Amino acid sequence: MSVGEKHFIQAMMDPSLPVPEGLSDSQFRPAGRRFNVYRNNVATSLTAAMHTAFPVITKLLGKENMDGLSGMYLRAHPPTSPIMMFYGADFPVFLAEIKQLDHLGYLADIARLELALRTSYHAADAQPIPADALAQIAPDDLMKTQITLSPSVQLIASAWPIYDIWRFNTQDDAPKPNAGAQDILITRPEFDPIPQLLPAGGADWIMGLMQGATIAEAHDKTLETMPEFDLGATLTLLLQGGAITHLTTKG
């Protein structure tokens, strides 16, 4: 990227900066007014994209505050792709770094959850295993089995009750959030991603699977820190969500 292109992009994203020197319209007149209109349209479109991508954050903070944050984010993280599904990928980190929001420590993880839902929605399709596939494997072999998960599967571990907060702000008559850490599994059994609350230790076990551990290896590792871990409940969530695409039994 040339220096001129860099200055143009910076001016496009920040209304406090002057119109780039030498910029003219089709009639070779200074393009100040036209540039300002275009710059405003870009900012408006990207702000709307942030509202769409992070509706719970918008609800928690209010439209005016979200507008301001979107402008700050735009200047710090201008788009790197013309595909809007990728815009906002750095927003959770951006929120975590704003000192004025330290009293709302859960915001960054709520943004991670909303980003994960969008990532799951756009992930590639994958055929889940048949419902009875696990039952066809002998118990001893089953524990030596590696599980491959669908590209749509997303995992969010949080020190905050992010599932309760998300549900309270998206579902009518949802109960008020309780204090405490919550981990979420996102699956996409049909067209839309579904976030589900994981039992204690579920996120650790699934992370083990993602790293190539067998069912038993991930289970034993999880029990070291979470003796009450319920393997059956977590495995059922994966099966019901169509999240398992392949099984490989180690010899």
- pLDDT tens track for 191-221: 899 999 999 999 999 999 999 999 999 999 9
- Dist. CA 139–CA 152, nearest whole Å: 28
pLDDT at residue 181 tops 70:
yes
Show the DSSP H helices in 54-191 as ranges.
55-61, 63-76, 91-96, 107-122, 139-143, 162-168
Q: At what angle do helices 215-225 and 202-210 cross, to 10 degrees?
A: 140
Give the residue with greater pLDDT, 82 vs 5. Answer: 82
Q: For residue 244, name the pLDDT band (cuts at 50, 70, 90).
A: very high
**86-122 tens-digit pLDDT:** 889 999 999 999 999 999 999 999 999 999 999 999 9
Residue 2 has a pLDDT of: 47
- Dist. CA 3–CA 208, nearest whole Å: 46
Question: Contact 181/161 with Cβ under 8 angstroms?
Answer: yes
Residues with Cβ within 8 Å of 224's Cβ and at least 6 positions away in sequence, in order, are: none
pLDDT at residue 10 tops 60:
no
**44-85 tens-digit pLDDT:** 888 899 999 999 999 999 999 999 999 899 888 887 776 777
Q: What fold characterizes domain 123-251?
A: Outer Surface Protein A; domain 3 (3.90.930)
Beta bridge partners of 118: none
SS3 157: strand
Q: For residue 173, name the pLDDT band (cuts at 50, 70, 90).
A: very high
Every domain of the chain with CATH number 3.90.930 lies at 123-251
Percent of residues, the chain, with pLDDT higher than 90: 70
Provide the 8-state DSSP code for 125.
Answer: P
**3-state DSSP of 215-246:** HHHHHHHHHHHCCCCCHHHHHHHHHHCCCEEE
Question: Contact 158/164 with Cβ under 8 angstroms?
Answer: no
Tell me the CA distances in angstroms from 217 to 18, 82, 223, 229, one per residue in order: 60, 42, 10, 14
Residue 20 has a pLDDT of: 54
- Dist. CA 147–CA 249, nearest whole Å: 9
pTM for the full model?
Answer: 0.84
Provide the 8-state DSSP code for 93.
Answer: H
Residue 7 has a pLDDT of: 46
